[in-house]
Amino acid sequence: MGQPASKRIFINFVVKLLLIFAVIGGGVALLYYNKDNTVYFRQTQRQVAGLIELNGALQKASHAYLNFADGDTTQLDSLKKYQKLITQSKKVLASFANANEIYNHEALQITKNLAEEENFYTIQLELSAQAHGNLTPKPAFSHKIGSTAPLIIQLVKLLRDDLKSRISQNDSFYEKLGYLVIAVGGLILIMVVVLYNRSQRGLRRQLLHDKEIYEAKLSAQAANNAKTEYLGMISHEIRTPMNGVLGMSNLLLQGTLSAEQREYAKTISNSAESLLRIVNDILDFSKIEVGKIHLDATSVNIRALIAETFAQNLPPSTPQLSISFKVDKNVPNAIYCDPKRLKQVLLNFLSNAVKFTEKGHIILECAVIDKDEFGKIRLGFVTKDTGIGIAEDRIKQLFKPFVQIDQSTMRKYGGTGLGLNIAYNLITMMGGKVKVKSEVGKGSAFTFFITTNEAVEKKAPKLPKEENKSVLDDKLSSHYPFKILVVDDNEINLMLIIKTLGKLGYECKKASNGQIAVDMVKQEHFDLIFMDMQMPIMDGTVATTEIRKHYRVYEFPVVVALTANTLGDGKDKCLEAGMQDFIAKPFKPAEIEEVIRKWAPKIIEYKSKHQSN
């Protein structure tokens, strides 16, 4: 019968504790035993080294003296130098008198002989100095010369013999200690094996449980991946016809229409835009679920971004409803953030406020909450309205996906229930939090902050807002006379882009798949190619790769991707294949004009170089 998990954990802990105590105890015993030996070994080694050095100095001094006595006057300086070296080296003898009584007698004898030998050399040097270098024969060959060296050698031998004896004793101790460690280790091993065998059943059950959890996780991941792929496919299938609806309605609005016809066309366009926003919300929610949304931080003028959000996406103020914003003077002009995603968050809160507020006011306030010593700024936003309000018990449901706080509200105001959930997740990614205060019948206040840094404002020229143009530039082809190829397998989309390019004055060629496009490129030169991504026979990425191989120039012709799949890494795949730009379906006619203007300088530059060559 298996033991309870808590008891097994306690027993394992005790065994490990005993093992730790055994190791620590052995270490303490070793330190205690080796303390004296370590001191002795080091001191003896120093003494031996000092004696050998002293003996070497004596031998050099005697050799120099004998040569000097034989008439080599050049050895005079050497003898003086070695005498100084002897004086420095003989300090080792003092350690025997202070620290080691065993060799006291030998050290005293060496000290006595050394003093006599040094005194002999000193006298001879003095006599030599008085006789101007001529030595007397009698003191020149005294028995004192070299008398100390045998004594030093004998003491070195005694010290080395003592070291060998101590090392032998240590070897015996370590042998006994080794047997003791083996015995203790064997005992601990037996205990561990016994405990291991007892815990095997529980471990097997745990492994089986973990395997089941892992398999369930794999199944969930597979289901999630299948859902993502399905959403990508659905996105493509919805966006493809939506491209035709929006594109054709925009082209229709640019034509000559009666007031009634223009109203109908505008209604079609607005309805398509509403449907597209719903599709975008679903796709953003799916991207967040699988972690495929990434923030692209850049320098942004926060005041301009808020003003643009109000001007382009919100209705103007009326006598019944005032819509405004206020930015505190302490807010820096430029911050680092993802402008697209921050604008999306603001628009979600403001659109909700407009949807649920019929009269009164809606105001967005922006202010700096605080700033730390590292320059991090908590930038706060609050959206206040005087709308229908939210019951307190319903506030917790606000940020859950696919949830409406009231079914009657859903029927009256519509919506998928994803906007606030997407905003909540994006704010979290920006290092912030959201709070809500509301009172039924009096209005709501949505407060959130993001974590950012102050940025240097980029003074870039204002770009023309092509998407707001009501009429395309029919003279564009005269300014930029390019040869254009359109590649798309969908007849409606093919007709739409050709009609759009026709409005700009271009007569372009068309291809229904990538293989036909590659064959056409090999027969004639094109300056600009609009390439669909998903096509039969050969898709857009493969076709672009083949075109690049043919031209062998990365920047020519300019290839612009057209795709209805915005889920995942579609844009990255386009750029990796050699495409220079990316337009998501459904697109507006003005986007086609904008991309031509954007790449026209590059195309003209290449063509001028090519023609000159």
Q: Dump pLDDT digits (tens) for 546-563.
A: 888 877 665 678 888 887
pLDDT at 468: 43
Residue linked to tokens 């604008």? 343
Mean pLDDT of 337-358: 86
Residue linked to tokens 């001028």? 608
DSSP per position, 388-399: S---GGGGGGTT
The CA distance from 380 to 331, in Å, is 10
User: CA-based angle 494:497:498, to the nearest 5?
Assistant: 80
In sign, the C-alpha dihedral spanning 494, 497, 499, 502 is negative
More confident residue, 610 or 406: 610
Burial class (CB in 10 A: 0-12, 13-18, 19+), 387: buried
- The answer, yes or no, to whether residue 281 has pLDDT greater than 70, is no
Closest C-alpha to 519, from 556, 480, 550, 490: 550
Q: Dump pLDDT digits (tens) for 36-69.
A: 677 777 777 887 887 788 778 778 877 877 777 7
pLDDT at 406: 52
Q: Dump pLDDT digits (tens) for 586-608.
A: 777 788 888 888 888 888 887 77
Mean pLDDT of 450-457: 82
pLDDT at 318: 81
- Residues 431, 451: contact at Cβ < 8 Å? yes
Q: Dump pLDDT digits (tens) for 370-420.
A: 888 888 888 889 998 888 888 777 777 777 765 555 544 444 445 556 777
Cβ count near 122 (within 10 Å) = 12
| Assigned token pair, 58 | 């004596």
Mean per-residue pLDDT of the chain:
76
pLDDT at 566: 58
The CA distance from 121 to 431, in Å, is 87
pLDDT at 395: 75
Q: Who contacts 181 (Cβ-Cβ below 8 Å, separation ≥6)?
A: 26
pLDDT at 159: 78
User: Under the phi-then-psi rule, with left for phi > 0, alpha for psi from -120 to 50, and beta for the rest, what region is 423?
Assistant: alpha
The CA distance from 483 to 606, in Å, is 14
| Assigned token pair, 250 | 């925009």
> In angstroms, how far apart are the furthest CA atoms of the chain?
145
Q: How much of the chain, in percent, has pLDDT values that exceed 70?
A: 77
More confident residue, 94 or 566: 94
- Residues 455, 300: contact at Cβ < 8 Å? yes
Q: Dump pLDDT digits (tens) for 305-324.
A: 888 888 877 777 788 888 88
**H/E element, 453:** strand 443-453
SS3 484: strand
- The answer, yes or no, to whether residue 422 has pLDDT greater than 60, is yes
The CA distance from 544 to 560, in Å, is 10
Closest C-alpha to 546, from 524, 582, 498, 579: 579
